[in-house]
Amino acid sequence: MTSYIKKSEWVKTEILDKVGWVELCHENPLNPLSAGFVEAIYESCKSFDEDPSVKCIVLIGSEKAFAAGADLKEMLPLSFAKISEIRYIEKNWSYFSNIQKPIIAAVNGFALGGGCELAMSCDFIIASEDAKFGQPEINVGAIPGAGGSQRMPRYIGKSKAMYAILTGDMIDAYEAEKCGLVAKVFKSDEFKENIIKISSKIANKSSALARLAKESVNLSYETPLQEGLRAERSIFMSTFALEDHVEGMTAFAEKRKPDWKDK
C-alpha cells in the first residue's frame, strides 16, 4: 500500500443543537479502521472543530461496534520499512489530540484494538451496558500502536493495563467504568438519549472556557505536577481576559443564566 483513498462515504455527519455528530458507518458493522476510514473520521471531526456553530463533538459507532479494531487485511502486507515510510500511525491517528473542542466517544458494542485507542483519544467515553473494551493485538502478532499502551495506563493504572494488553482479554462496560476507562454507563435503550443530554449540556457552556478547561486537564497527563500547577494558574488567570468570565460571574451574582458570547 503506497497510498489510500479517504472513505468519506463511511462517515455520516450532522449538527444537532450545537453538537456535531460523527457516526462511523462502514459497510462492515464492526467498523474496521483502515487508513482511509480513519482519515475520513478525523477530517469530519476537524471540520466540526473549525465550525463556530459547533461547540461539542460526539463520535459514535454502530449498535454492534464503535470499532472492533484496525483493518488487518490492510495491515497484513505491510513491512517494517513500508509502515514507517507511509507514516501509517503518525498520520491521522495522532491528530485527534489536536481537536480543541470537547469530543465524546459514545461506545456501543466492541471498542477493541484501534477502536479502543480511538475512543481513548477522545476527551471521555460514555458507554452502553453492552460495550466491551480491549487491546487484543497480542493475539494477532502485534502490540498496540496508536496509543493503547500509553493511554490505557493513564486511564486505569499500570497493573490493569498490563493485564489487559498481555492477556488480550476484554473489559466489560461496568468494569471499565469502575476502573476509570469510562465516565458513564447507560442501559442500551437509554444510551442515545443520555449522550444527547450530556453533549447538549457541554455545548451550552462557553466554548472559550471549555477549550481552556480541556487544555488544562490535558496538561496534567503531559507534565510533572509543579509544572502543571504553574500552567493551570496561567490558564486560570487568562480567563479573566474573557468576556465570558465577566458574564459568568455577573450572571451568578444576579441569579440568572449566563448569556455566553464564546469569547
Residue 237, domain extent? 207-253
pLDDT attached to residue 67: 94
pLDDT attached to residue 149: 92
Q: Is 147 a known active-site residue?
A: no
Domain boundary among 203, 218, 235: 203
Q: Does any domain span residue 72?
A: yes
Q: Is 23 a known active-site residue?
A: no
Task: Please indicate, yes or no, whether residues 219 and 197 belong to a single structural domain of this protein.
Answer: no
Using a 10 angstrom Cβ sphere, with 0-12 exposed, 13-18 middle and 19 or more buried, the burial of residue 179 is middle
Q: Is 117 a known active-site residue?
A: yes
pLDDT attached to residue 79: 63
* Options 36, 109, 114, 248, the catalytic residue: 114
Task: Please indicate, yes or no, whether residues 52 and 160 belong to a single structural domain of this protein.
Answer: yes
Let me know: does 108 contact 140? Beta carbons within 8 Å: no
Task: Please indicate, yes or no, whether residues 152 and 240 belong to a single structural domain of this protein.
Answer: no
pLDDT attached to residue 76: 62
pLDDT attached to residue 226: 93
Provide the phi-psi class of 100: left if phi over 0, else alpha when psi is between -120 and 50, else beta.
Answer: alpha
Q: Is 109 a known active-site residue?
A: no
Q: Does any domain span residue 133?
A: yes
CATH classification of the domain holding 248: 1.10.12.10
* Options 23, 39, 137, 177, the catalytic residue: 137
CA distance 104 to 107: 9
Task: Please indicate, yes or no, whether residues 189 and 228 belong to a single structural domain of this protein.
Answer: no
CATH classification of the domain holding 134: 3.90.226.10
- Average confidence (pLDDT) per 10 residues, the chain, 263 residues: 74 96 94 90 96 97 88 66 64 83 97 95 97 94 88 94 96 97 97 97 96 93 91 93 93 93 92
- Number of independent structural domains in the chain: 2
pLDDT attached to residue 2: 47
* Options 117, 134, 148, 208, the catalytic residue: 117
* Options 70, 164, 173, 210, the catalytic residue: 70
